[in-house]
């Protein structure tokens, strides 16, 4: 049986959506700092307003409402200063209170004049206050409300601070902390049991025996899954022994939301996954994609199961094409890569009947006045070329029907990382350019 990429994407999404006990698992409550990258389980109301009280946006003088309508300049008696954190006394008309950024606006005050606009433009010293003489200050007349951050102007108490389903990053967690919350209810992590298979596959850190290779897939997929927000239970490498694999899959119902294996699913004489699951509902099929053609999909005792091919590049491409987007839909953690057009730097030949996914280095030319970036292919199409994958920052899509493509042709690329090293050039039309330079 052969499927298109799109058909298998739908099948994987359907598998995670409908066969998984994930949606039924209860929310967890975590301390805020432990909740980065998690998804909010319920709407959260702001228990306090932000700001909680009217406060000053500037270091300056708080001026009484009755003094704002007069003629310039105002000559006002200096009242006791109001530091941030204090509960100030009411301000009398004819007085100006030195007030610091973030300090509570005294009752009666209706505007803040920044210290730079006052004469003198420095606050009185402690010694001047001790002197006992009445100090005065000259201020311009300003409009009511100037430099006052009113209570609730960011968020009002009782309104929704964050909606269920929000991905929690630094800004969202900072907001909850500002609201006085110490913990947050989050959706559970999607749990994956990961098994690499093959007699030849050996744990890294040991001495390599003849004919054997180190296990790349467990580390590659553990980190890919964790990056996508899943929780991974790593199994030790399973030998090409169907009994051993069946034993590893016993009694898992409910404990994991997905079983994911690599290797043992194609046409060889020792295909352990295929043999162990021969009498199950798991299907072994071919997707019109390269790499990642051989795929397995089904359930084992009601638990969703995916079998990826053993070649490491095939395993990662399978993850990116099928599992990452489906996980994103099911968990609410965005799973789609940024997709951009990019010009190929060389001629390429792709099998017309397959969606080829090459690996490459994308260079953004936008900062140099060009609209489209370039992509240089790294390594060939071979699915063992892990070193070339490790040097790549993009997957390059050559869909079914592509065939020969000339250098300079735009193709779709998925960025594997949105973070770039070095200094981000400012786009010439960036309105912040002036402010930043």
Contact residues: ligand LQZAQKY5, CB under 6 A: 196, 198, 200-201, 213, 215-217, 262-268, 271, 291, 293-294, 309-312, 314, 383
- Min dist. Cβ of residue 199 to ligand LQZAQKY5 (A): 9
Four-CA torsion 86, 90, 94, 95, nearest 10 degrees: -10
Nearer to ligand LQZAQKY5, 172 or 196 (CB): 196
Nearer to ligand LQZAQKY5, 178 or 213 (CB): 213
Q: Of these partners, ligand MOO, ligand LQZAQKY5, none, which one is at the site of residue 373 (CB under 5 to 8 Å by kind)?
A: none
Q: Of these partners, ligand MOO, ligand LQZAQKY5, none, which one is at the site of residue 310 (CB under 5 to 8 Å by kind)?
A: ligand LQZAQKY5
Nearer to ligand LQZAQKY5, 56 or 266 (CB): 266
312 binds ligand MOO (CB under 6 A): no
- Min dist. Cβ of residue 293 to ligand LQZAQKY5 (A): 5
Distances (CA, A) of 188 to 74, 181, 287, 302, 421: 61, 20, 31, 19, 33
Of the candidate spans 19-27, 228-236, 286-294, 417-425, the one that interacts with ligand MOO by CB under 6 A turns out to be 286-294
Say how many C-beta atoms besides its own lie within 10 A of residue 393's C-beta.
19
- Min dist. Cβ of residue 189 to ligand MOO (A): 28
As a whole number of angstroms, the distance between CA 80 and CA 92 comes to: 11
Nearer to ligand LQZAQKY5, 22 or 322 (CB): 322
- Min dist. Cβ of residue 323 to ligand LQZAQKY5 (A): 15
Nearer to ligand MOO, 64 or 397 (CB): 397
As a whole number of angstroms, the distance between CA 294 and CA 192 comes to: 20
Which H, E and C letters describe 80-99, residue by residue?
Answer: CCECCCCCCCCCCCCEEEEE
How many amino acids of this chain bind ligand MOO (CB under 6 A)? 9
Side-chain half-sphere CA neighbours of 183 within 13 A: 5
Q: 45 - beta bridge partners?
A: 160
- Min dist. Cβ of residue 315 to ligand MOO (A): 8
| Residues 6+ away with beta carbon under 8 Å from 29 | 183, 184, 185, 186
How is residue 169 written in tokens?
């990053």
- For 289, counting Cβ atoms within 10 Å of its Cβ (0-12 exposed, 13-18 middle, 19+ buried), the class is buried
> Is the distance from CB of 240 to CB of 199 less than 8 angstroms?
yes
Distances (CA, A) of 112 to 56, 145, 231, 292: 7, 8, 52, 65
- Min dist. Cβ of residue 321 to ligand LQZAQKY5 (A): 13
Helix, strand, coil distribution of the chain in percent, nearest 5 = 20, 30, 50
Of the candidate spans 50-58, 134-142, 188-196, 289-297, the one that interacts with ligand MOO by CB under 6 A turns out to be 289-297
Nearer to ligand LQZAQKY5, 183 or 353 (CB): 353
- Min dist. Cβ of residue 294 to ligand MOO (A): 6
49 binds ligand MOO (CB under 6 A): no
| Residues 6+ away with beta carbon under 8 Å from 71 | 141
- Min dist. Cβ of residue 354 to ligand LQZAQKY5 (A): 10
**Cis omega (within 30 of 0) on the bond before 283?**
no
Q: Output the residue with the shortest Cβ distance to ligand LQZAQKY5.
A: 310
291 binds ligand MOO (CB under 6 A): yes
229 binds ligand MOO (CB under 6 A): no
How is residue 118 written in tokens?
């006052």
Nearer to ligand LQZAQKY5, 205 or 369 (CB): 205
The two beta strands, 191-196 and 231-234, are: parallel
Q: Of these partners, ligand LQZAQKY5, ligand MOO, none, which one is at the site of residue 262 (CB under 5 to 8 Å by kind)?
A: ligand LQZAQKY5
Q: Of these partners, ligand LQZAQKY5, ligand MOO, none, which one is at the site of residue 295 (CB under 5 to 8 Å by kind)?
A: none
As a whole number of angstroms, the distance between CA 234 and CA 317 comes to: 20
290 binds ligand MOO (CB under 6 A): yes
**Cis omega (within 30 of 0) on the bond before 51?**
yes
Candidates 81, 88, 293, 312: give the one binding ligand MOO (CB under 6 A): 293
Residues at the contact surface with ligand MOO, assessed by CB under 6 A: 290-294, 309, 311, 314, 383
């Amino acid at each position: 049986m052969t499927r298109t990429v799109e058909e298998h994407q739908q099948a994987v999404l359907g598998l995670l959506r409908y066969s998984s006990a994930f949606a039924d698992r209860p929310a967890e409550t975590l301390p805020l700092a432990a909740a980065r990258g998690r998804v909010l389980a319920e709407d959260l109301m702001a228990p306090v307003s932000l700001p909680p009280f009217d406060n000053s946006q500037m270091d300056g003088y708080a001026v009484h409402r009755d003094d704002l309508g007069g003629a310039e300049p105002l000559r006002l008696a200096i009242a006791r200063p109001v530091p941030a954190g204090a509960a100030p006394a009411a301000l009398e008309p004819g007085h100006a209170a030195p007030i610091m950024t973030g300090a509570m606006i005294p009752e009666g005050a209706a505007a803040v004049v920044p210290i730079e606009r006052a004469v003198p433009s420095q606050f009185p010293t402690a010694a001047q206050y001790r002197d006992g003489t009445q100090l005065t200050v000259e201020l311009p007349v300003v409009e009511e409300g100037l430099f006052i951050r009113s209570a609730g102007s960011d968020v009002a108490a009782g309104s929704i601070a964050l909606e269920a389903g929000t991905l929690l990053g630094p800004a969202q967690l900072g907001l909850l902390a500002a609201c006085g919350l110490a913990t947050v209810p989050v959706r559970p992590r999607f749990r994956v049991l990961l098994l690499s298979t093959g007699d030849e596959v050996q744990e890294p850190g040991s001495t390599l025996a003849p004919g054997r290779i180190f296990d790349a897939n467990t580390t590659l997929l553990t980190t890919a899954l964790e990056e996508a927000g899943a929780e991974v239970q790593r199994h030790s490498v399973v030998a090409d022994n169907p009994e051993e694999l069946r034993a590893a899959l016993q009694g898992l119902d409910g404990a994991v939301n997905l079983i994911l294996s690599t290797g043992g699913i194609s046409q060889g004489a020792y295909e352990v996954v295929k043999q162990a699951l021969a009498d199950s509902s798991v299907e072994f099929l071919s997707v019109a994609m390269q790499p990642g053609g051989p795929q397995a999909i089904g359930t084992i005792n009601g638990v969703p199961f995916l079998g990826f091919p053993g070649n490491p590049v095939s395993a990662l491409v399978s993850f990116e094409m099928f599992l990452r987007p489906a996980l994103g839909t099911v968990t609410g953690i965005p799973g789609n890569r940024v997709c951009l057009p990019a010009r190929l730097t060389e001629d390429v030949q792709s099998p017309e009947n397959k969606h080829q996914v090459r690996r490459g280095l994308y260079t953004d030319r936008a900062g140099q006045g060009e609209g489209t970036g370039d992509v240089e292919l790294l390594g060939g199409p071979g699915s063992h070329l892990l070193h070339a994958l490790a040097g790549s920052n993009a997957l390059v899509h050559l869909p079914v029907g592509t065939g020969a493509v000339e250098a300079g042709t735009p193709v779709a690329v998925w960025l594997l990382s949105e973070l770039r090293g070095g200094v981000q050039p400012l786009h010439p039309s960036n309105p912040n350019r002036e402010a930043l330079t």
